[in-house]
Structure 1
Amino acid sequence: MNHQEEGEKVPKLFGFWASPHVLKVIWALRIKGVQYDYIEEDLPNKSDQLLEYNPVHKKVPVLVYQGKPTAESQVILEFIDEAWKHRGDPILPEDPHQRAMARFWARFQHDKLSPPIWKWFTTQGKEQEDAYEASIEQLLVLEKELDGKRFFGGDKIGFVDLSLGQVSYVIPIFEEITGVKMITEQKFPSMSAWMGNFLTSPSVKDHPPPLDKLQARYQAIREAFLKGEI
């Protein structure tokens, strides 16, 4: 990935292969047709460059464009949409209210949906059962919001879809590991269809999540939680 329009510097993306936050930035760059250089970080031994570019959080992803770093995945998505406004499909809608609602649902994923799902995956017994019910409750909110649409923003992937993208592949991995089904076509017809639509969309299917490696990683994480090692 080393050719771009003349006069433009190729952005650099500092990432980690298993991070869903990095993946959604990659998918956003693909939606915009932006070439980039990817730098894989060893998170236990973070590079001096990463620490220099993101001294506040010291995390990936970080996107460096024209020498200027942008950190935090949701912020990076908005930056990509603005920096390459006239390339590819828009990530955020033009309408102010729709933009606000897209940000709202992205926060919903972070604040309301991810915590109970993670708790369900990393616990057992009554605690896991309670977290499962809490997860179902939040997923039903999303099911109602999606309401038969192909994507949350309409016919094409947008900000909310990218923000929720990890749901499409992480939940099936968690289901496989725990042996418990969470999203069924009967209970969640719209969400089930969305998961398939998202994973087979051009920007995602050409750079799919590494499912086998992720399953092994998450299996080890769950076992460590249950043993009290984390």
Structure 2
Amino acid sequence: MSSLESRVRLYGFWSSSYVYRVIWALKLKGVEYEYIEEDIMNKSQALLEYNPVHKKVPVLVHCGKPVAESAVILQYIEETWPDHHNPLLPMDPYGRAVARFWIDFGHQLKDMFMALVLSSGEDKVNEVEKMLRRIQDEALGDKKFFNGDRIGLVDLCFGWIAGPWLECSQELATEEHVLDMETLPTLCRWIADFRQQRVIEENLPEREAMLAIIKRVKKRGSKLNP
């Protein structure tokens, strides 16, 4: 197989946290890839052909074959480029099942948080706080990262909590902070540890640009991630 045929391409959009989790995984694995920025108002023919069902980013293309949906892409990366010294999923089947459970739980949290951004309301704030506490107490516990001593797929899927996505969204959604050191100290500690990792620190969207796009999203009442 030629190097051209085996190359890795990632179709993305600069503000999407789903895209960033794939970028983080590729960089943690040391996988070289070509990044292709999409215009979500005028999606490329390639993107439409590679993801004809949802027509969204991210899409990873490896050996000419497309893989869509970020959670699926992350597991594809883990299986295609295994690294027993730094696995992104636990080695045992039960540990992997638990990790997949929390990855799915994280998607539910993000949907609820976006509802809060778009409509606000004390009931939604309380629900988000409850889910964050459950993540802190039941998924993270006393570990440094959700995967243990190193970042794993669960950490990457919760990465939007640590980046400007939640910070900017919360700023526009409500005066009450759903995440602070007083109420969720362990989760706040995780955020600090996660952001200090070089791969994360060097690959985050600019805060002011993120704030501007979330303002537009809130005004339109549409979704943040393409």
Same structural fold, with TM-score higher than 0.5 when normalized by the shorter chain = yes
Matching residue's letter, 1:150: K
Which whole-Å CA distance do the structure 2 matches of 1:140 and 1:105 have between them?
13
Answering whether residue 180 of structure 2 is matched by residue 184 of structure 1, we say: yes
Matching residue's letter, 1:159: L
1:76-87 alignment to 2 at 5 Å?
76-86=73-83
Q: 1:220 aligns with which of 192, 212, 216?
A: 216
TM-score (norm 1): 0.89
Q: Is the 8 A contact 1:149 1:190 kept in 2?
A: no
Identify the structure with bigger relative contact order (alpha carbons < 8 Å, sequence gap 6+).
2
Aligned to 2:151: 157
Aligned to 1:45: 42
Which whole-Å CA distance do the structure 1 matches of 2:85 and 2:6 have between them?
18
Distance 1:64 1:7, change over 3 A: closer
Q: CA RMSD in A?
A: 2.0
Per the alignment, in what secondary structure is the counterpart of residue 166 of structure 1?
Answer: helix
Which whole-Å CA distance do the structure 1 matches of 2:43 and 2:146 have between them?
35
1:1-230 alignment to 2 at 5 Å?
9-86=6-83, 89-111=86-108, 113-124=109-120, 128-145=121-138, 146-169=140-163, 170-177=165-172, 178-225=174-221
TM-score (norm 2): 0.90
Which whole-Å CA distance do the structure 2 matches of 1:88 and 1:34 have between them?
15
Structure 1: gaps of 5 or more residues: 1-5
Structure 2: gaps of 5 or more residues: none
Matching residue's letter, 1:56: V
Shift of 1:182: 1.2
Per the alignment, in what secondary structure is the counterpart of residue 67 of structure 2?
Answer: strand
Matching residue's letter, 1:171: L
Matching residue's letter, 1:163: C
